[in-house]
Amino acid sequence: MYRYDSFDQRLVDERVAQFRDQTQRYLAGQLTEDDFRPLRLQNGLYIQKYAPMLRISIPYGLLSTRQLRRLAHIGRRYDRGYGHFTTRQNLQFNWPKLEDVPDILAELASVQMHAIQTSGNCIRNITSDHFAGAAGDEVVDPRPYSELVRQWAALNPEFAYLPRKFKIAITAATTDRTALLVHDIGLQIVRNDQDEIGFRVIVGGGLGRTPMIGHVIREFLPRAEILNYLEAILRVYNRYGRRDNKFKARVKILVKDRSPAVFAREVEDEWSHLRGGPSTVPDEEIERLAAHFPAPAYETFAGDDPGYRSELADNRPFSNWAQRNVHPHKMAGYAIVTLSLKQTGVPPGDVTSDQMDAIADLADRYSFAELRVSHEQNLIFADVRQADLFTLWTELKALGVATPNLGLLTNIVCCPGGDFCSLANAKSIPIAQAIQRRFDDLDYLHDIGELDLNISGCMNACGHHHIGHIGILGVDKNGSEWYQVSIGGAQGDEAALGKVIGPSFAAHQMPDVISRLIDAYIDHRHDDERFVDTVRRIGLEPFKERVYATAAH
């Protein structure tokens, strides 16, 4: 992974010193709440319902075991012994003290981490494919490009006070695992007919209050021009994005209001001035960054591990887990393993400090001392020998992170919701837990098949409910908590926004509502048809009829 040199380290250290000074001036009354708020947000610090919340950046989801152990330590020392992985591949602590935050940032800096731009109206953490470098469907390893864009975005003087937050995702895979089409900018690394590497540039996607699918504004951008082009997009947005209404301030609104074609023309015009300028990236820089991501010391195997094959045949629970949570690797004899942070009874994405330490030990032993965070709030060991899978599985089970539910209904993506977040209209974690309890039968869960269920506690959509096959949105009705249900959303290459099925429900109705949706699906499905495919084929009506036939009480 990318390792800081003295230059990178100095910037992060200076950021810690800057924030320490800002915090001191705030506590001394020299900075007002209004003046301090944007500054602390750009360091990931929210003041939440019960306590501050600190969001730590995990660039493109990549973590070393040393870093994970430091996060475990921070959780223990400054919080309540756990952390929460987010849909932007970050980690949040929910109970730090404001006056401790500078010390926490210093602890992070000591392991080459920070909380820069994890909140606020600026360029947020760059997200990417959690299988990067290990998947077999990549044009090229995207990580050097993610790092290039991370450096450009970090502490960028021109774009610290944008109209609204700005999210960039990068993938180099032919199958999108990053929700590329619902980002402010989605960058797909491609290879053209001349065998040159470049970017397909997508702008104006996003979730939140006004969900939209992004538009391709350039089919092929030579890789050397990436920073010039990003600067052009951000400059057009910074100058012309709406600032009078925060609900209309995202770039997607600007793209829609001007039309994608007009927006693209403005960007191209701005780019024409910047093209070939100082930020043009030489091949040598990309090679330098690529050298930070060498292939691990893989052993050579002829094919699948025979021992793994026989365990698969003999052990049903193991094969269930392997079927769901193990993905093919580009190297023969290796596999990509997903640790499910979606065990029934545990808030989705939550991990205790003890679990973090134990997971770090396992990653040291089985996956070259690195791991990744996925935007579905799970953890990934990207480089595991097939021969180790059975042993690893038994160890993961003991830690409670081997629930074989990846891609299934109980792999719920869920924001912290009203239990923690001051923006939320409604709680989301108890809804997730009630649904997980209802669908706790593994055979039934596997029979239902692939299903993405996403829950957001408000329309800011941190739980990405619009792109869930089933999406649940917490809404406020006269001060009480209700839940609006949509179906037919999807992420990835088939990205689509779900449609609301009708009036919202009370919390206690939700497990029944989901059961009825599933019953309707099972009645109507064709062979091998996923829930979302059935919705697309037969439409909302049969599902509505089932759910609202008699009131679900």
Partner 1 sequence: MPRQLIKDGSVVDDRWTLVRELGADALSQAAIIVPLPVWRANRDALRARGDVGVWLAPSDDPADIAPDAATLPVIAVDFPQFTDGRGYSIGRLLRERHGFAGELRAIGDVQHDQLYYLAQCGFNAFSIRSDRNAEDALAGLTAFSDGYQSTTLRTPWFRRRAAAAAR
Site for partner 1 (CB under 8 A): which residue of 1, 2, 16, 22?
Answer: 22
Partners of 49 in the beta sheet?
A: none
Site for partner 1 (CB under 8 A): which residue of 7, 193, 195, 303?
Answer: 7
Could you tell me which stretch among 72-80, 283-291, 325-333, 450-458 binds partner 1 (CB under 8 A)? 283-291
Contact 59, 66 (CB under 8 A): no
3 state SS of 324: helix
Query: 115: part of which helix (H) or strand (E)?
Result: none
Which one, of 453, 441, 443, lies nearest residue 408 by Cα? 453
Could you tell me which stretch among 9-17, 308-316, 328-336, 528-536 binds partner 1 (CB under 8 A)? 9-17
The Cα 141–Cα 86 span in angstroms is 24
CB nearer to partner 1: pick between 270 and 383? 270
CB nearer to partner 1: pick between 22 and 403? 22
CB nearer to partner 1: pick between 249 and 448? 249
- Could you say which residues in the range 236-255 bind partner 1, by CB under 8 A? 238-239, 243
292 binds partner 1 (CB under 8 A): no
CB nearer to partner 1: pick between 104 and 154? 154
CB nearer to partner 1: pick between 39 and 135? 39
Query: 480-487 and 499-500: which strand pairing?
Result: antiparallel
CB nearer to partner 1: pick between 159 and 318? 159
Tokens standing for residue 420: 């923690």
Site for partner 1 (CB under 8 A): which residue of 97, 288, 309, 437?
Answer: 288
361 binds partner 1 (CB under 8 A): no
Could you tell me which stretch among 13-21, 67-75, 321-329, 411-419 binds partner 1 (CB under 8 A)? 13-21
Query: 243: part of which helix (H) or strand (E)?
Result: none
What single DSSP character describes residue 137? S
Instruction: Characterize 478-510 residue by residue with b for buried, 16 or more Cβ atoms within 10 angstroms of its Cβ, and e for exposed.
Output: eeebbbbbbbbbbbbeebbbbeebeebbebebb
CA distances from 81 to 50, 77, 379 (A): 17, 8, 18
- Could you say which residues in the range 126-165 bind partner 1, by CB under 8 A? 151-152, 154-162
Tokens standing for residue 379: 């953890």
Instruction: Round the CA-based radius of gyration of the chain to a whole number and report it.
Output: 23
437-444 long-range contacts (CB < 8 A, ≥24 apart) are 437/344, 437/345, 437/511, 438/511, 438/514, 438/515, 439/409, 439/410, 439/514, 440/344, 440/410, 442/320, 442/404
Could you tell me which stretch among 3-11, 93-101, 183-191, 355-363 binds partner 1 (CB under 8 A)? 3-11
CB of residue 61 to partner 1, shortest distance in Å: 21
10 binds partner 1 (CB under 8 A): yes
Residues near partner 1, by CB under 8 A: 7, 10-11, 14-15, 18, 21-22, 35, 38-39, 121, 151-152, 154-162, 227, 235, 238-239, 243, 273, 277-279, 281-282, 284-285, 288
